[in-house]
Amino acid sequence: MKARAYVVGPRRGAAAALFDLAGRLEFEAVLSYTSVVDVERHASDMSIVFFLFAEVPDLEQLRPATQAIRAAGSRNLRFAPLVYFCTTPSIETVRKLIGMGFDDVIAGPFSPSVVRPRLARQLDVPLAYFETATYFGPDRRRDAAPRPDSERRGGGQFRRLEIIRRPGHGIEVISDDLQVVL
């Protein structure tokens, strides 16, 4: 695959298995995530970068990494696919991950034949992203369970961006629309 993978998590347990899986998916390179600054130093404008997150007991420990990636100065990092791997995700887990801006949640068992097509869905197709005061990530409204009225936010301004990730070409922003909802 003409992309790099950064595995988020220590090189033991679930993350070690994720390193092995990523190696079998034939990424150009599989590296440990240390910081956005380190990734920005090594990523080119033309490379696609995947962030593969290993399962953790407390999802909040992922928030600093996801926020740093989504706030990165490089378009190729800011719009990079964030993919979480876990054995059996609960609805609550998926909701939290959607709220953090993840692109996909993949449940085990993990094999290249299962994971490869899921990752391929992130490439060469237009994808909508939203940016609000509290969220930046893919448009996952169709995937999320309906929220109670008390959790819905009305009004404000948001950006709707349409992107396409093309291996060897990087990430292209097709449209960028600022909208205000009264």
Predicted local distance difference test score (pLDDT) of residue 143: 47
Ordered mean pLDDT values, 10 residues apiece, the chain (182 residues): 89 88 93 92 81 95 95 92 95 94 94 96 95 87 46 70 93 90 71
CATH code (residue 14): 3.40.50.2300
Q: What's the whole-model pTM score? A: 0.88
- Whether 169 and 75 have beta carbons less than 8 Å apart is answered as no
Beta strands 127-131 and 104-107: pairing type? unpaired
pLDDT tens digits, 88-139: 899 999 999 999 999 999 998 899 999 999 999 999 999 999 998 888 899 8
Amino acid at 75: R
Q: Is 97 exposed, middle or buried (0-12, 13-18, 19+ CB in 10 A)?
A: buried
Retrieve residue 25's tokens.
């998916």
Structural domains of the chain, count: 1
Q: Is 52 exposed, middle or buried (0-12, 13-18, 19+ CB in 10 A)?
A: buried
Predicted local distance difference test score (pLDDT) of residue 176: 93
Domain range for residue 116?
4-181
Predicted local distance difference test score (pLDDT) of residue 133: 87
Beta strands 136-138 and 127-131: pairing type? antiparallel
Map tokens 């948001």 to a residue.
158
Predicted local distance difference test score (pLDDT) of residue 43: 74
